[in-house]
Amino acid sequence: MARRNLLHKQDLDLFCTYLNQAGYQYRPGKGTYEVIQVQCNSPDVGDYYVPIYDRNGGDHFTIQDSMVYLVRGFLRWKRKNEEQLLADPISELQMSIATWANEIIPDRTAHNAIVKLMVHELPELLNGGLDDPLEYADIAILVFDIAYLQGINIGKAIRDKMEINRDRKWETDPNTGILSHVND
């Protein structure tokens, strides 16, 4: 049996975020109609994947009855966190980036992303990319994803750090031109 009225199509990224936070693995779907496959576990069968379908062209995905508990858990989580999600566009952007990265590079690590940032993206910016907004975007995408992989809400971290920075004293090193906070 299948349900067609629980998981709205516009909630797919957020559903994938929920799956990650709840410890569920998922992977891209197969074939024309499968959107994603979610890993489930049964004492009798072990690990197996249950697909979520986009079959009928409506506003909702088709889910198997075995996934109803998970989708309802997501809906409860969404209602509980909706105010925070809507009020924090930076965190929403972080979740969008993480959802995309989880689909494309599910086995990535924070260490590998930091190496990519240092070896590829920062040199591209420094070697002629200072006027290219997409180079800044590459760096931001990696930083947001690294924070996600470490379990850090980047929006909250930025706000917390800016509070600290506003209370600090700053000076520029006359030899290097680098701005640093003054240790008290």
Number of Cβ within a 10 Å radius of residue 61: 28
pLDDT per position in the chain (184 positions), as tens? 677 788 988 888 788 878 877 888 888 888 888 888 998 877 777 788 899 998 777 888 988 888 888 999 999 888 887 766 666 788 888 888 988 888 888 888 999 999 999 999 999 999 988 999 999 999 999 999 999 888 888 888 898 899 999 999 999 999 999 999 998 6
Q: What is the pLDDT of residue 46?
A: 77
Q: What is the pLDDT of residue 1?
A: 65
Q: What is the pLDDT of residue 87?
A: 66
Q: What are the DSSP calls for the chain, one per residue?
A: -EESSSSBGGGHHHHHHHHHHHT--EEE--TTTEEEEEEEEETTTEEEEEEEE--SSSSB-EEEGGGHHHHHHHHHHHHHHHHHHHH-HHHHHHHHHHHHHHHH-TT--HHHHHHHIIIIIHHHHHTT-TT-HHHHHHHHHHHHHHHHHTT--HHHHHHHHHHHHHHS-EEE-TTT--EEEPP-
Q: What is the pLDDT of residue 129?
A: 84
Q: What is the pLDDT of residue 79?
A: 82
For the chain, the structural domain boundaries read 1-86
